[in-house]
Amino acid sequence: MRTNDVMLQTATKVVTFIILMFAVHIFFAGHYTPGGGFVGGLLTASAIVLLMLAYDIETVKKIIPFNYVMMTATGLLLALGTASASIFFNVPFFTHAYDYFDLPLWGKTSLHSAALFDLGVYLVVVGVTMTIIQTIGEDE
Binding of residue 85 to another protein (CB under 8 A): no
Give the CA distances from residue 130 to residues 47, 66, 134, 140, in Å, rounded to whole numbers and listed in that order. Answer: 11, 10, 6, 17
Q: Identify the residue among 65, 90, 104, 105 touching another protein (CB under 8 A).
A: 90
Q: Identify the residue among 64, 70, 101, 109 touching another protein (CB under 8 A).
A: 70
DSSP character at residue 103: E
Positions 98 through 137 that interact with another protein (CB under 8 A): 98, 110, 112, 114, 117-118, 120-121, 124-125, 127-129, 131-133, 135-137
Q: Which residues contact 70 (CB under 8 A, 6 or more apart)?
A: 127
Least spacing, CB of residue 9 vs another protein, in Å: 10
Of the candidates 123, 108, 115, the one whose C-alpha atom is nearest the C-alpha of residue 67 is 123
**Do 76 and 85 form a contact (C-beta atoms < 8 A)?**
no
Positions 16 through 45 that interact with another protein (CB under 8 A): 18-19, 21-22, 25-26, 29-39, 42-43, 45
Binding of residue 50 to another protein (CB under 8 A): yes
Least spacing, CB of residue 44 vs another protein, in Å: 10
DSSP character at residue 106: T
